[in-house]
């Protein structure tokens, strides 16, 4: 069960969630999700974090499973060759659809994700309840099918268990997969967005899925309760930049497909924001004042509902560091 603080935090994030999700109401004719090509793979946008499908000769990999109501749809659109599923971290907008895979496909995550996934069953149930509203304006046969699937999952919600969302395979720092002859490397570089972030690197495709270590051109969600560290986050980003060249295709957790410049932009965000927040802190500004302030040097970013959460978290980190 959630503490009151956790419940309030999740309510705020849920209310701001629309700012994290690109519109997908104009679905492609034969699929519910809007899929875009990415270095020989494809990426699905909307209704949770960006999901990636990579297909080899006789196997396919799915990275991230979106919100709970969309797991069955994601599995169908990922295709029958699916053999591997990876969660980049525990957040429910990346693991909600896990229930559609765990019975016959072994999910993979960083080891710290498991207890956090086990502790957020209430969030998965909330996602199922919210699906009716989310899908209200979606039109066409694909949307009708997803609505029916979401209702079917919600109808058996009392039979869903937290273990239906839990990965079967976990690792600490590094793992390697063979996806139909394609080498895929999984890396965990320590706390960043959470304490269980992993990135998916496909060297032969020059492709990188960052999970939520990259919120491209939008304010990032900083989950201190989930083990986040902005100092660690910047160190993670340096590692990711080292994996890239000018042609690397970078798939963020939220936002459009980008390249190494997107990663550098995330580093700049933290440098600029933390400098401004430290200046405000030293000037005696309160947490509320810091959370509500604007930083023009950051430019125009999406996800403004997340901005006070991000600024407040950086204030909390600074206050904690100065209390030592």
- Could you give the CA distance from residue 2 to residue 226 in angstroms, rounded to a whole number? 13
Asked whether residue 313 is assigned to any structural domain, the reply reads no
38: three-class secondary structure by DSSP: strand
* pLDDT bracket for residue 29 (50, 70, 90): low
Residue 257 in any domain: the answer is yes
**Domains in the chain: how many in total?**
1
Higher pLDDT pick, 305 / 136: 305
Instruction: Give dist(CA 279, CA 299) in Å, integer.
Output: 19
Distance CA 167, CA 250 (A): 25
> Rounded to an integer, what distance in angstroms lies between the CA atom of residue 217 and that of residue 266?
8
In a domain, 318, yes or no: no
CB 309 within 8 A of CB 221: yes
Using a pLDDT cut of 90, give the percent of the chain over it. 85
Over residues 259-265, the mean pLDDT reads 99
Q: Give the number of residues written for the chain.
A: 324
195 pLDDT more than 90:
yes
Q: Residue 146: which domain range?
A: 4-272
Q: What is the mean pLDDT of residues 122-151?
A: 90
The pLDDT score that the predictor gives to residue 11 is 43
Q: Is residue 304 part of a domain?
A: no
63 belongs to a structural domain: yes
**Residue 62 in contact with residue 77, Cβ under 8 Å?**
no
Give the CATH number, domain containing residue 123: 3.60.15.10
The one-character DSSP state at 174 is E
Rounded mean pLDDT of the chain? 92
Diameter of the chain by CA atoms? Answer: 60
Residues 6+ apart with CB under 8 A from 63: 51, 52, 53, 54, 85, 86, 88, 200, 209, 251
Sign for the pseudo-dihedral over CA of 287, 292, 296, 299? positive
Is 283 a domain residue? no
* 290 found inside a domain: no
Q: Is residue 82 part of a domain?
A: yes
pLDDT of 24 > 50? The answer is no
């Amino acid at each position: 069960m959630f503490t009151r603080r956790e419940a309030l935090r999740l309510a705020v994030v849920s209310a701001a969630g629309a700012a994290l999700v690109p519109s997908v109401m104009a679905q492609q004719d034969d699929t519910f999700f809007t899929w875009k090509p990415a270095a020989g793979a494809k990426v699905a946008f909307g209704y949770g974090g960006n999901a990636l499908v990579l297909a080899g000769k006789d196997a396919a990999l799915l990275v991230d499973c979106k919100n709970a109501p969309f797991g069955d749809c994601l599995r169908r659109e990922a295709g029958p060759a699916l053999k591997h599923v990876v969660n980049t971290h525990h957040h429910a907008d990346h693991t909600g659809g896990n229930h559609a895979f765990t019975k016959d496909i072994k999910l993979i995550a960083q080891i710290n994700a498991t207890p956090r996934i086990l502790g957020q069953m209430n969030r998965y149930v909330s996602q199922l309840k919210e699906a009716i509203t989310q899908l209200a304006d979606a039109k066409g046969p694909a949307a009708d099918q997803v609505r029916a699937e979401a209702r079917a999952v919600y109808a058996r919600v009392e039979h869903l268990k937290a273990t239906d969302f839990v990965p079967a395979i976990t690792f600490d720092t590094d793992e390697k997969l063979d996806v139909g002859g394609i080498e895929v490397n999984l890396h965990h570089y320590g706390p960043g967005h959470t304490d269980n972030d992993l990135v998916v690197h496909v060297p032969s495709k020059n492709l990188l899925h960052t999970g939520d270590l990259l919120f491209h051109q939008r304010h990032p969600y900083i989950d201190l309760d989930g083990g986040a560290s902005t100092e660690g986050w910047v160190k993670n980003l340096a590692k990711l930049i080292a994996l890239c060249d000018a042609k690397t295709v970078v798939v963020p957790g939220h936002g459009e497909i980008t390249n190494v410049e997107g990663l550098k932009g995330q580093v700049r965000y933290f440098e600029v924001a933390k400098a401004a927040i430290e200046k405000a802190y030293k000037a005696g500004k309160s947490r509320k004042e810091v959370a509500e302030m604007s930083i023009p040097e950051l430019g125009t970013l999406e996800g403004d509902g997340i901005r006070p959460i991000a600024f407040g978290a950086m204030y909390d980190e600074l206050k904690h560091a100065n209390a030592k």
